[in-house]
Structure 1
Amino acid sequence: MFKNKKAKIDPNMTDTLIGECTVFEGKIKSEAGIRVEGQIVGDIDCAGDITIGEKGIARSNVKARNVVIAGQVVGNVSSTGKLTIKATGQLHGNLSALELAIESGGVFQGTSKMDAKESKDAKDNQAPVTEERLVPREREADHPISTLHDNDQTAVLKTW
């Protein structure tokens, strides 16, 4: 009578909304997108996209595919895709992302780490890295010095 079908969750869809007058405390883990218009205190781990709305406040570490901040985030953000801080957005914490966009007026206080996305083809076509040996610098006394006499004025030129 009842079929036990598991519907495949689409990470491109937002399935969780924290409303404007809602305060949530705890950890959220989701396979689909999350939108925060209220307040959340606790870590967010999301396979999809996260949007922090203009009135949204997240006091948490955020981990997601793409992150859009139009409100306020206090904590570290890790994005496997693009992190966008809108003109009304504020991020107070460190970030790690593949792409970063900060609109004029957006606030970012922290450190950033841009993750490099390397495809297999790019690695294969890359020139081999060769080890360079450092050549010790010669002392100044080892270099020839030429002296010019011009109207009893002495000029010393060093050649390197």
Structure 2
Amino acid sequence: MFKSNKSGSGKINPDTTDTLIGEGTIFEGKIKSEASIRIEGTIIGDIMSSGDVIIGENGVANSNMIARDLVLAGQLNGDVEARGKLTICATGVLNGNITAQSLIIESGGIFNGSSKMAASPAPAAQSQKELKATS
């Protein structure tokens, strides 16, 4: 009845979307996912994703959120930690504080809160590897 993970690695690709909260659906509770999440309905509860989170134009999230990248075309009420890029589309509304490496707000997008730009961890890690290699 259920398909097993045939890759053998046990890892889920964070570039795939395996969770969809559809339009007309209201979900209450926490979500933790290794893959990406798309929200077209309403979610009330915290979200943690190793992949991306996409909130569609009709999507509403009353959530604190941690994700790789976030694309917001709907409404989000809560704090966000994006390890990569946070994009607020022209139809997007974010009420909350954010931490991200990159922030894009399209014309018409609304952001009410404070922002903190996080430094990219990759260059620092790369520098440490280079230092060890030359020692």
Q: Report the TM-score when normalising by structure 2.
A: 0.84
1:123 to 1:10, Cα distance in 2 relative to 1, 3 A: closer
- TM-superposed deviation, 1:117: 1.5
Q: Distance in 1 between matches of 2:94 and 2:42?
A: 15
**How many matched pairs?**
123
Task: Name the SS for the 1:81 alignment partner.
Answer: strand
The equivalent of 1:12 in structure 2 is: 15
Runs of 4 or more consecutive aligned structure 1 residues displaced over 2 Å after TM superposition: 3-8, 120-124
The equivalent of 2:132 in structure 1 is: none
1:4 to 1:91, Cα distance in 2 relative to 1, 3 A: closer
Q: Which amino acid aligns with 1:80?
A: R
Identify the structure with bigger relative contact order (alpha carbons < 8 Å, sequence gap 6+).
Answer: 2
The equivalent of 2:105 in structure 1 is: 102
- TM-superposed deviation, 1:81: 0.3
Task: Name the SS for the 1:20 alignment partner.
Answer: coil
Q: Distance in 2 between matches of 1:49 and 1:87?
A: 19
The answer to which structure has the higher helix fraction is 2
1:115-130 equivalences under 5 Å are 115-117=118-120, 119-120=123-124
- TM-superposed deviation, 1:8: 3.0
The equivalent of 1:30 in structure 2 is: 33
The structure 2 residue matched to 1:45, chosen from 43, 48, 54, is 48
Q: Distance in 2 between matches of 1:46 and 1:92?
A: 20
The structure 2 residue matched to 1:87, chosen from 87, 90, 109, is 90
Unaligned runs of 5+ in 2: 130-135
Structure with higher Rg: it is 1
Give identity over the alignment, percent. 58
Question: Aligned pair 1:111/2:114, yes or no?
Answer: yes
